[in-house]
Structure 1
């Protein structure tokens, strides 16, 4: 009995000892895993279990008014290899068996590296047992990525083949730098958002919403479970017209190069809607070329010069102090204004003498405009300022762009308003107006006095459907009376046809507008510190009788001579003529005259088909008399046209004699002749003008007949 108890105790002791050893081993192994192998198992865990993984949405597109893609998010990839996963899956030998094929394929896709280079590179990663080995140093496109995925081993999933990728969303602009500052820029890491332009203004709409996923093991397989799907961004449809933007950019840059200019702006706006069809902002870079660096049309605060004279004269016209034939004695072109000399551009030639208001704007007389404003508003400058504000020329437009500026028109109660301020303000100095505000003012003149807000975006869309449209906003329903409007529009038309703005005109249509030439202030240093630089401009609209588009061209040049009409007006003319040719189709009714022939040239042949078309087009003809009861059987005939109608006449066909197919189209002629058993050869296009076998001759089946078409 005692022996049995000892035996049992020995066994229990052995079992306890073994369990203790196992416990110690478990603790040691756990400690080893926790400390020595911690990173390895953490990496393994990350491969198989991922919680709350953010899924980035696709950023929406920016689309032009004419439906062209201007900015889009396209995926780019960096490609990697996990050689440890490859070996654990037992596919290392598969890689070595297909290595030559893989390297040749990589070379075909990326010709900048040889197959031998790829081979050495891959073998280095295999020897290093790398888990995240970069196969190619550059980001690759989606198309290149799909080609790489077709290669052996790389076409396996990443846990069997080791091939994996890191995706980046890259913002691309198919038209390059065209309208670059209007569209805006993204940070290199697109997830950080936009810097400026439409990209920033509409970032919340374009960005979309992040999604969330996690990895979960289901039936021995790890699946990506979507907790919250990503919502892709909406598309922004702009008002920009790619053709007009291209026209304006080329015309402006050509002139900037000719003048060696510092910078230039050209903006085209649709009169009735305020849609900005082109917005060009060019600045000279260190390499001598011109690039879109900042949205100067909305951010540049500069003295506008003589283009502002239109507003000054309108205030006086509206207050009924003057009429277009009001005469001012400008003398010899120099006048003392409160201790400072006001000069006309031609003072050295003796000035203009006595001229009326219309002529004052035609020749852009500084003396004439400043004399009028100083005479009628000198004792009450606030009334003049109120007149400007009444026309909303200074009203903030809140266009939504970063760095957007608003006009600065000072009043008599402000600190720097002196005796000379009013006369110099009247000719465009001592006021600061961004180019787009000045354009908006002239656009209101063209739009029958209705000032609308410039618009850069017309709609928001998703999956091809419009979600929201942006209507035209009215800033001021009437900037002036109809009388003032009629008077100033007549004057602005004469400024181009008879005045200094002739270079802005066109032989094809009438243009209205005003030139501007201003010395650029250097702040406290004055206007002539370091040499005189100029801002030359032209602002106007076309065609004068029924304005469709308004446009401003503003160029900063570092030297003289300066001429708003010649240097900026000529750019306006080129832009206007090219837009007119491409986009302003004329109504046919306006082209009619007593000699017009409005009946189409109709080919002979199956007049039953011709009759159907003529009836559908409402063309005056005798088509109603042509029977359509037997549409499967052609009704052959001839068609003659007069200035007033098309006459269709059936022709009897003799089955034994060769028909006359002159005047027919190729289809009808071939159909008819082949029904006679003839072989037909064609030469040329158009309608049949001659046939090699004479009409009326006896037909012999199998003969070849040649038809000449013109």
Structure 2
């Protein structure tokens, strides 16, 4: 019985692992597993999104130092690989004051070594650090020393073991090896690697990289344990600029400034078949390595007398890119656009003729042509050749304000071209409902509205390349630090501006304008060049200051290059003698130098001999080339070729022939047909850079001051 009782008691102590208990255990295990999963997930997420911050927070509980590892900003190259801007590795001198004072024998040798090795480091500076920052582990003593200077100090430290606590931090300094070359295109950087103006600003994020960091942990024996996160260097930008062409145009501008002292001057060289800018410059150039240096422009006393605001105003104007940021009245260089619009709308035909009697009277106001006695009956081609205002006013009357302004916008005026540079302006146009008949007439030959040089270059390119409007651009491609292509800026077709028929007509007419008309000064021996001159009176009109220009393409029938030259108020030229010839001859001189460089060579005839299609800038003879390649062209049948003597046979009537001779005489005198010019009223048009809007300008219908528009070729 006793044994049975013992067995029963033992049986009662043994408990079975019931299903309920199993469920509870499984539930607890599941909760723990879920909690651990969430916790691990949270840790992974924090490490991924905010790991560096927490890492720094942990490190802040220890004795440590951290150093930024700077990235290298990408270089800027020209189209041929010439380095225009790069970041040179330099070194900052860092003093660990705490360590330099940790032993008595370290302090003086370290101080003397720093003073003797680096210019600008004084005893007072080191003593101040010793006194005020005894526990500092990171004090910058000097920035941007060279590798050679760093190595000299290291050799000194090797020779004297008591020189302690000095180390060197890598950094980069922006360098521009050609100083002023393409300054308005490249721009510059501040000390924090932020670009100002030009490519440096527009492509700032592309050129910049990402800093790395080096954590230094000091153990109990003052040994440094390092943890490094490497930096990522910036990308390299390959521009469309040709450094040699850029240097040539800048040299020409400097020489021109010295001789004629213009208020402003700009030159653009562009590939009309893809929108690439080969060169772009103005009279404002500066040393990119010292962008805030005023000494090249003012004396020391003048600089001392300037306020900070005056200094900044001057610098902002100096850094400004005139060719994209200033608006100008284009003058007669706009006439091809007026004609193109009328041709596209079938309002005129290439074979049409116009009678010029010296001007038009519009709403009681006489608007004169450049030739006061009139050109007589002329063809559409001749209207461009002799730059006849009267013919253009007759053409624009057929267009009307609404059509004219719509084509202005369609050709890219009144809006930004989209060029990849900061600071582009849109220009100023009249709204069609505020464009009076008088304003419309004057607008036909390029006054009353403002455009930018880049708008003109892009629009003109489309007129002569078959009608393709390409977005102008300054960067060709982007490379990574290893040299591989990251992205390319291929030509971007924005629109078809005109038909090929209109483009072909304009190329022929503009060729004759250079060969036989007002733009003869742009001729270069052996080359066929097409182009148009312009002379616009700037605001205020009473000042009689002029903006002289030429825009042209070469070869005329298959353009590979567009050159646009603008000169504002050359002060060393008597005002009455200021004419577009000054800009035209300058364009010819530039083209003569850059065409062979760009491997654009003179055309050769069937016998392999060079064909001279013009007088040339160095051979201003009176012979006509006869336009050999145009013989038999029905649109230009007035000039048939005499191939035996190279002279043209004029098929026009005596009146037209007399008109052409009169024109030739004017150009031979060095004063093309824009000749005598009466002032425009102040209210018509504005000077470059004026901020007024055309919409706010009152209609000039009843402006009794407006006697003539002769301010154009």
TM-score by length of 2: 0.65
Q: Against the structure 1 CA distance between its residues 564 and 311, is the aligned structure 2 distance closer, same or farther, given a 3 Å change threshold?
A: farther
1:537 and 1:568 in contact (8 A); partners too = yes
Q: Which residue of 1 aligns with 2:554?
A: 542
Q: Which residue of 2 aligns with 1:431?
A: 449
Q: Deviations over 1:140-171 (max 9, x none)?
A: 442343343334127889x9612245655322
Count of aligned positions: 520
Q: Against the structure 1 CA distance between its residues 126 and 219, is the aligned structure 2 distance closer, same or farther, given a 3 Å change threshold?
A: closer
Match of 1:473 among 492, 495, 498: 492
Q: CA deviation at 1:514?
A: 0.6
Match of 2:79 among 62, 65, 71: 65
Q: CA deviation at 1:508?
A: 2.7
Following the alignment from structure 1 to structure 2, what is the Cα–Cα distance between the partners of residues 135 and 479? Answer: 62
Following the alignment from structure 2 to structure 1, what is the Cα–Cα distance between the partners of residues 360 and 607? Answer: 54
Task: Pick 1 or 2: higher relative contact order, CA cutoff 8 A, min separation 6.
Answer: 2
1:169 and 1:190 in contact (8 A); partners too = no
Q: Against the structure 1 CA distance between its residues 90 and 555, is the aligned structure 2 distance closer, same or farther, given a 3 Å change threshold?
A: same
Q: Which residue of 1 aligns with 2:362?
A: 337
Following the alignment from structure 2 to structure 1, what is the Cα–Cα distance between the partners of residues 137 and 227? Answer: 28
Q: CA deviation at 1:394?
A: 4.9
Q: Secondary structure at the match of 1:152?
A: helix
Q: Deviations over 1:506-530 (max 9, x none)?
A: 11311111111111124xxxx22xx
Report 1:75-90 matches (<5 A).
Answer: 75-79=89-93, 81=95, 85-89=99-103
Match of 1:152 among 148, 153, 156: 156
Q: Secondary structure at the match of 1:88?
A: coil
Q: CA deviation at 1:338?
A: 2.0
- Is the deviation greater in 78-87 or in 178-187? 78-87
Q: Against the structure 1 CA distance between its residues 304 and 93, is the aligned structure 2 distance closer, same or farther, given a 3 Å change threshold?
A: closer
Following the alignment from structure 2 to structure 1, what is the Cα–Cα distance between the partners of residues 77 and 185? Answer: 12
Following the alignment from structure 1 to structure 2, what is the Cα–Cα distance between the partners of residues 437 and 155? Answer: 65
Match of 1:316 among 330, 334, 342: 342
Following the alignment from structure 1 to structure 2, what is the Cα–Cα distance between the partners of residues 186 and 383? Answer: 45
Following the alignment from structure 2 to structure 1, what is the Cα–Cα distance between the partners of residues 125 and 408? Answer: 73
2:89 and 2:171 in contact (8 A); partners too = yes
Q: CA deviation at 1:572?
A: 1.3
Following the alignment from structure 2 to structure 1, what is the Cα–Cα distance between the partners of residues 138 and 68? Answer: 23
Q: Against the structure 1 CA distance between its residues 335 and 102, is the aligned structure 2 distance closer, same or farther, given a 3 Å change threshold?
A: closer
Q: Secondary structure at the match of 1:150?
A: helix
Match of 1:190 among 189, 192, 205: 192
- Is the deviation greater in 539-548 or in 130-139? 130-139
Q: Against the structure 1 CA distance between its residues 156 and 565, is the aligned structure 2 distance closer, same or farther, given a 3 Å change threshold?
A: farther
Q: Deviations over 1:654-680 (max 9, x none)?
A: xxxxxxxxxxxxxxxxxxxxxxxxxxx
Q: CA deviation at 1:73?
A: 1.9
Q: Against the structure 1 CA distance between its residues 566 and 297, is the aligned structure 2 distance closer, same or farther, given a 3 Å change threshold?
A: same
Report 1:42-121 matches (<5 A).
Answer: 48-50=63-65, 54-79=68-93, 81=95, 85-89=99-103, 91-92=105-106, 95=109, 106=117
Q: Secondary structure at the match of 1:544?
A: coil
Q: Does 1:508 align with 2:526?
A: yes
Q: Secondary structure at the match of 2:564?
A: strand
Q: Secondary structure at the match of 2:156?
A: coil
Following the alignment from structure 1 to structure 2, what is the Cα–Cα distance between the partners of residues 66 and 536? Answer: 33
Following the alignment from structure 1 to structure 2, what is the Cα–Cα distance between the partners of residues 88 and 198? Answer: 49
Match of 1:163 among 163, 166, 179: 166
Q: Secondary structure at the match of 2:80?
A: coil
Report 1:153-552 matches (<5 A).
Answer: 153=157, 161-165=164-168, 168-187=171-190, 189-191=191-193, 193-217=194-218, 220=221, 221-226=223-228, 228-283=229-284, 287=298, 293-331=319-357, 333-347=358-372, 350-374=373-397, 376-377=398-399, 380-394=400-414, 396-413=416-433, 416-462=434-480, 463-476=482-495, 478-522=496-540, 527-528=541-542, 531-552=543-564
Q: CA deviation at 1:591?
A: 9.1
Q: Secondary structure at the match of 2:423?
A: coil
1:326 and 1:356 in contact (8 A); partners too = yes
Q: Which residue of 2 aligns with 1:143?
A: 147
Following the alignment from structure 1 to structure 2, what is the Cα–Cα distance between the partners of residues 501 and 579? Answer: 19
Following the alignment from structure 2 to structure 1, what is the Cα–Cα distance between the partners of residues 351 and 490? Answer: 40
1:155 and 1:161 in contact (8 A); partners too = no
Following the alignment from structure 1 to structure 2, what is the Cα–Cα distance between the partners of residues 408 and 128? Answer: 64
Following the alignment from structure 2 to structure 1, what is the Cα–Cα distance between the partners of residues 602 and 381? Answer: 33
Larger Cα-atom Rg: 1
Q: Secondary structure at the match of 1:190?
A: coil
Q: Which residue of 1 aligns with 2:633?
A: none
Q: CA deviation at 1:442?
A: 1.5
Backbone CA RMSD of aligned residues:
3.7
Following the alignment from structure 1 to structure 2, what is the Cα–Cα distance between the partners of residues 129 and 287? Answer: 41
Following the alignment from structure 1 to structure 2, what is the Cα–Cα distance between the partners of residues 518 and 408? Answer: 15
TM-score by length of 1: 0.66
Structure 2: give runs of 5+ residues left out of the alignment. Answer: 1-59, 286-295, 300-313, 610-713
Q: CA deviation at 1:586?
A: 4.9
Q: Which residue of 2 aligns with 1:7?
A: none
Following the alignment from structure 1 to structure 2, what is the Cα–Cα distance between the partners of residues 164 and 152? Answer: 13
Q: Against the structure 1 CA distance between its residues 256 and 353, is the aligned structure 2 distance closer, same or farther, given a 3 Å change threshold?
A: farther
1:492 and 1:513 in contact (8 A); partners too = yes
Q: CA deviation at 1:472?
A: 0.7
1:153 and 1:161 in contact (8 A); partners too = yes
Q: Secondary structure at the match of 1:550?
A: strand
1:240 and 1:456 in contact (8 A); partners too = yes
1:121 and 1:135 in contact (8 A); partners too = no
2:383 and 2:391 in contact (8 A); partners too = yes
Following the alignment from structure 2 to structure 1, what is the Cα–Cα distance between the partners of residues 95 and 212? Answer: 27
2:69 and 2:231 in contact (8 A); partners too = yes
Following the alignment from structure 2 to structure 1, what is the Cα–Cα distance between the partners of residues 129 and 463? Answer: 74
Q: CA deviation at 1:578?
A: 1.3
Report 1:591-630 matches (<5 A).
Answer: none
1:50 and 1:215 in contact (8 A); partners too = yes
Q: CA deviation at 1:553?
A: 0.8
Q: Against the structure 1 CA distance between its residues 562 and 550, is the aligned structure 2 distance closer, same or farther, given a 3 Å change threshold?
A: farther
